[in-house]
Structure 1
Amino acid sequence: MKLELPKITRTTLALYAGASGDHNPMHIDIDVAKSAGMDDVFAHGMLNMAYLGRLLTANFPQERIRSFGVRFTSITPIHAKPVATAQVAKVADGNTHLDLTMALEDGTVTLQGTAVIEGEIAA
Structure 2
Amino acid sequence: MTPGQRLEPQVFAVRRVDLVRYAGASGDFNPIHWSDRVATEVGLPGVIAHGMYTMALTGRAVARWTGDAEIVELGCKFTHPVVVPDDDRGAEVVVAGTVKEVAGGLATLTMEVTCGGQKVLGMPRAVVRVGGAGETGG
Counterparts of 1:63 and 1:87, CA distance in 2: 16
- Structure 1 stretches of 4+ with a deviation exceeding 4 A read none
In 1: Cα distance, 2:78 partner to 2:48 partner: 13
Question: Which residue number in structure 1 is paired with residue 99 of structure 2?
Answer: 88
1:73 match: 79
For structure 1, list consecutive stretches of 5 or more residues without a partner in the other structure: none
Q: Specify every segment of 5 or more residues in structure 2 that has no aligned partner in the other structure, as ranges.
A: 1-6, 85-89
| C-alpha RMSD over aligned residues | 1.9
CA distance in 2, matches of 1:72, 1:38: 15
> What CA distance in whole angstroms lies between the structure 1 residues aligned with 2:129 and 2:81?
31
User: In structure 2, do the counterparts of structure 1 residues 4 and 63 end up closer, same or farther at CA, with 3 Å as the change threshold?
Assistant: closer
CA distance in 2, matches of 1:93, 1:81: 35
Q: CA-to-partner distance for each residue in 1:58-105, whole Å, 9 max, x for gaps?
A: 233555322111111111011321111221012223321110221113
CA contact (8 A) 2:83 2:91 kept: yes
Amino acid at match of 2:101: K
1 CA distance for matches of 2:112 and 2:51?
A: 13
Q: Give the total of aligned pairs.
A: 120
CA distance in 2, matches of 1:28, 1:66: 32
2:129 maps to which residue? 118
